[in-house]
A and B are shown apart, each in its own frame.
Chain A
């Protein structure tokens, strides 16, 4: 690791997010405009002229080619021309990787104020699972659906840890309960364990309620240095760490892969904890937004992030440790499961949620007196993981 890192060198001064959901009446332009302008307003940039003057560069996270290619997606939507704009793609972790790149610009001193944002317009492509699987990958070697990839882990965890479908269902029930309170969440409906258990099967053992929503949405963050931050927004939040770890896209060819832990998460967490100086995450982290693309993913995330011991996640969940008012709230927003998952937007949305929580201005469940918030974004077949830790200025 470099000597300087980004700890305490980047501040979030503005954040915005659209409502997530089936937004038939909105296109990519609408989504980006809504999220970015909310962030501009929050950062004290009152007009397009001010934004034009202040925002020096943009990093845009989006995964699918049909949402947009290149920097023009942001330039044309926001009409911010003539600036360095880079599209970032890193599977489902694209959004948080856009944020990471934006942080580097500020931390290095190249730019003072930049925008990190993410957007995805999925619903136009239909809602029967993630689109594009027909044209991606090798023409002959099998490519499992996204749920199937995570089923490999679920099947294995059932076998090794003795977990069952009810353990998975509890994740869905908790996150739906949390999402009900969030005005920007995709679903605003609580479910019962029976609802989850009786839902149609998507890929054994994951049923419909074990899978996150396909959504449209966008989220944006304006960042600067801690020195400049107060002049824009006195209620700014500090980036304590950010790390990305990349493993293989095809873990099923790795003879040593055990499918009961995700090394990408473990590696990213290790780097992030080191940078933030965290030694006991279960005690030091106040709350977390983790990548619950599937219920099994959340159970493994909390273990891989060190919130509990291996194999104990279902028990800790059952005891209420991860409830919105629990010891370590996980996905108080409702998570991907209930808040929705527009691929490229999710990473920025998680950071936006942590930012609001730390300000004490959460739109949904407000976590009590948070000190450190963690956002965890996972992509591919547990291939790419990004972990961000936010905190208050010292």
Chain B
């Protein structure tokens, strides 16, 4: 790591005091500090590896660090990015104000990390990642044609707003569910937040899942419309009517009935508790 960083700095005639953001991989905090000392980086320039939050996630770590660096990058900042494994590689980037702008549109990395639910069982992780063999998961027929035809409702999560009675509804029916008006609507992109109207903790079909029970929630979407979604990243026993949820895009299953669909991945939406992060947006 030190060799590649030194090589990079020599190549671009950089001195340690010129570095504003040093984003480099480290398997643990001790290694991270040792590199900073060897390179004589300014303490403020060294970007935290988030060890206390996410431990060592391996390959994607330098990019996660870089994303946090972008949140504070200014015009003209010198950024170095380096990864390390069987060998090492390093990049030199010059910041523009666009980096900060870009990160403004997205959720802060730390906030995103702290919104995740920690699994209390490593077996669940192994099974969800297909790392151990287990009972065949719930696989329903996947059809590329169906998803192509229904892309608005399945992947874009569009509902409709009836032009006649004004009812917002999901999915995009041809005729309004309330007044029956046919083809008299505009596509309506549903917001990604809502409130639980009613729910159950399903153990039965849940037996096909890796974790039971599965909360199945009927949600009043903010601004109108109802939807039924399974809940993820949650403690099922804490779910109650009136809870705020956010709607998130998730992998539902792999494969399909037909041989040619074996590699298909089915994506749809789930909901998860809307956690108001304690970390303030800057």
Enumerate chain A interface residues (CB-CB to B < 8 A). Answer: 128-129, 133-135, 137, 139-148, 151-156, 159, 201-206, 248, 250, 252-257, 259
Contacts and interface: CB of A to CB of B under 8 A. Distances in A.
B216 A139 contact: no
A144 B169 contact: no
B228 A255 contact: no
Given A133-B205, A253-B226, A259-B198, A144 B216 contact: yes
Contacts of A148: 200, 202, 204-205, 216
B-side interface size class: 35 or more
Which secondary structure dominates chain A's binding surface? loop
Given A135-B141, A140-B267, A156-B241, 7 more contacts: A142-B216, A144-B200, A154-B200, A203-B202, A203-B203, A205-B200, A255-B169
Nearest to B221: A255
A255 B140 contact: no
Contacts of B218: 152, 252, 259
Nearest to B239: A204
Nearest to A140: B268
A142 B232 CA distance: 13
Given A139-B146, A253-B177, A147 B204 contact: yes
A256 B169 CA distance: 10
B213 A253 contact: no
A151 B241 CA distance: 13
B140 A135 contact: yes
Contacts of A144: 200, 202, 205, 216, 228
Interface in B2-59: none
Nearest to A211: B204
Interface in B223-248: 224-230, 241
B123 to A, nearest CB: 22
B151 to A, nearest CB: 11
B199 interface: yes
B226 A252 contact: yes
Nearest to A157: B198
Interface string B191-222: 00000011111111111100001001010100
Main secondary structure of the interface of B (DSSP, over half): mixed
Given A145-B205, A252-B226, A155 B177 contact: no
B268 A128 contact: no
6 contacts: A135-B140, A137-B140, A141-B228, A152-B200, A250-B228, A256-B178
Contact of A254 (B177, B204, B230, B252): B177
Interface in B117-173: 138-143, 146-147, 154, 167-171
Given A152-B198, A253-B171, A255-B178, A129 B204 contact: yes
A122 B229 CA distance: 29
B266 interface: yes
Given A145-B202, A152-B198, A159-B198, A253 B229 contact: no
Contacts of A153: 198
B245 to A, nearest CB: 14
Q: In this complex, which of A143, A201, A255 has the most chain B Cβ atoms within 10 angstroms of its Cβ?
A: A255
A134 B168 contact: no
A152 B197 CA distance: 9
A154 B201 CA distance: 12
Per CB-CB distance, the 5 closest pairs between chain A and chain B, nearest first, are: A151-B200, A204-B201, A252-B228, A145-B204, A140-B268
A349 B241 CA distance: 38
